[in-house]
Amino acid sequence: MHVSKKVSDVEYAIRDIVSAAKDLEKQGRTIDYLNIGDPAQYGFHPPENVKQAFIEAIKKDQNYYSASEGIQELRTAIAKKENSKGLSIGADDVLVTNGVSEGLDMIMASIVEEGDEVLLPGPYYPPYASYIRLHGGIPIEFSVDLENSTPDIADIESKITPKTVAICLISPNNPTGAVFEEDSLKELIDVANENNLYIICDEIYDQIVFDKNL
């Protein structure tokens, strides 16, 4: 069966490396898989009250299609959580997606034209580059000082071109765990504003931050 070139050209490092690991296992090598952050594999299961809520929802036949933008109560709760950080948004500003990957796909489809560039902090979560390429864009990596958790603003500015449409901000970073300092974030926002760029802000791990002394 024919597969389109744009799909054939997409790479996904997280899963690509698994194929190589499986080949090594067949040769008798022992492989520890650290490529997927699956908490269930390490004994971190959903809280009992969450599981019970799912059970009750099924008993009440609450398994129908929801509104395409997400359940109203959920969107309201998300807006409330974001407003606790100093933002000012309402439920109408929230779109619920089926995980981060679907959200990334929708964002890139919405803002990236053929040949457009998106700046990414290196290293970055591999699907970012995959979705950028899938929609005809070019991922451009900028430097990050991992010791001080600061993006290299000069490097970012040097890599902005007329084709740049967005800067990705992943903090806490996946895979390094680095958390950008507030001053660095303000500088990055200023650069984006000066160049009329979108900021794609990924804070999926914002509740998993450990003190530096640990």
Examine the domain organization and report whether 82 and 138 are in the same domain: no
Q: Is residue 49 part of a domain?
A: no
Say how many domains are in the chain.
2
Please tell me whether the overall predicted TM-score, pTM, comes out greater than 0.75 for this model. Answer: yes
Q: Is residue 23 part of a domain?
A: no
Examine the domain organization and report whether 120 and 163 are in the same domain: yes
Q: Which residues contact 39 (CB under 8 A, 6 or more apart)?
A: 45
Examine the domain organization and report whether 84 and 154 are in the same domain: no
pLDDT tens track for 145-169 = 877 778 999 999 999 999 999 999 9
In the prediction, which pLDDT does 75 show?
97
- The yes-or-no verdict on residue 214 having pLDDT over 70 is no
CA angle 199-201-206, nearest 5°?
A: 160
For residue 77, the enclosing domain spans: 65-96
Greatest mean pLDDT among 70-79, 140-149, 179-188 lies in 70-79
pLDDT tens track for 100-154 = 889 999 999 999 999 999 999 988 888 899 999 999 999 999 999 877 778 999 9
Mean pLDDT across the chain, nearest whole number? Answer: 90
Where does the pLDDT of residue 212 fall: very low under 50, low under 70, confident under 90, or very high at 90 and above?
low
Percent of the chain surpassing pLDDT 90: 59
Alpha carbon separation from 90 to 62, 77, 81, 199 (Å, rounded): 25, 10, 11, 19
Greatest mean pLDDT among 2-6, 39-43, 195-199 lies in 195-199
Strands 144-145 and 150-151: antiparallel
Examine the domain organization and report whether 73 and 146 are in the same domain: no
In the prediction, which pLDDT does 16 show?
75
Assign residue 180 the CATH number of its domain. Answer: 3.40.640.10
Q: Is residue 208 part of a domain?
A: no
